[in-house]
Amino acid sequence: MRILVAGGAGYIGSCTTEYLLDHGHQVTVFDALINGHRAAVDQRAAFIHGNLNDDDALDRAFQQARPEGIIHFAAFIEVGESMRQPGKYFSNNIAAGIHLLEAAVRHQVRKIVFSSTAAVYGLPERNPIPDDAPVAPINPYGESKLAFERILHWYHAIHGLQYAALRYFNAAGATALHGEDHHPESHLIPLVIQAAMGVRPSVSIFGEDYDTPDGTCIRDYVHVNDLAQAHLLALESDESRAFNLGSGHGHSVKAVIEAVKAVTNRQFNVISAPRRPGDPARLVSDSTDARNILGWKPAFDDIHIMVESAWKWRQHHPDGYPN
């Protein structure tokens, strides 16, 4: 299949591009390199430097790639920043994405897979969280993703554009070639690994008084390679709807820190800090539909395997990507 990957220079986009190529597909990456890395784009993929707001650049990309399907990763993802600059998130994550959908309609592409998020659920009423749980985002980032899901529904209804909105929980781990390198970094596992490497002086635990077994927040981590598998399965499916993607296992902040210590065999400073506003005590996925309908079979759902893959990638890329 010929696949256009928008945002393929980012973390999950680069790992998914690698997976698609390994499975015999032809990939063109379209990325503005605002937060992505040119060095993260697999050398086997075609690369087009362009912005989703540029209709001419999109038309050229579609003409060159002749895609049969689209995977859309391009977005801003920092929750805290979205609370300070909501317009930035609505403009990029919604309005720019509409340009991509219009290009798909113009060039008669019939399938798109959208990188959504568990943040659409806000503060969930129950855990594990099923696909049909109430959606009520508590930040502009989650709101922007939910809005685009709703837009996809209407492009499906009006233009026949088939879509899957994949609601990730916490992406983690790395492949042999590609890993996580955000600037600034805000995700727990890479932050803890940086502390283990001595890159940062300590790692903070935000709240130790939650109603969980060890008092710290519990999250569902899913290996990035398993996410990549789900994207390909979603492209091959005729379903048009949202799917949760998570391991179904919850791991506390303290458990993740202990996993990093076990994998790296290193000690580092851990600091207790106040709770962050809006942090739910527990977020765990019910991904039954993705498994039953898409045939998704996560292969790396052990937290130590996720940490080990991330650690190995960082050992080979101590400074992240060169650019």
Instruction: Give the active site residues.
Output: 141
What is the distance in angstroms between the CA of the first residue and the CA of the last residue of the chain?
A: 30
C-alpha distances (whole Å) from 13 to each of 106, 234, 257, 266, 283 are 24, 15, 26, 30, 23
d(CA 17, CA 38): 13
Listed residue (225, 191, 3) closest to 109, CA to CA: 3
User: Would you give the distance in Å from CA 10 to the centre of its chain?
Assistant: 9
Residue recorded with tokens 């075609």: 46
SS3 229: helix
The CA-CA-CA angle for residues 248, 249, 251, to 5°, reads 145
d(CA 131, CA 168): 11
The first and second tokens of residue 148, run together, are 């685009």
Tokens in use for 295?
């045939």
DSSP letters spanning 283-316: E-B--HHIIIII----S---HHHHHHHHHHHHHH
- Residue 179's φ and ψ, nearest 5 degrees, are -145, -165
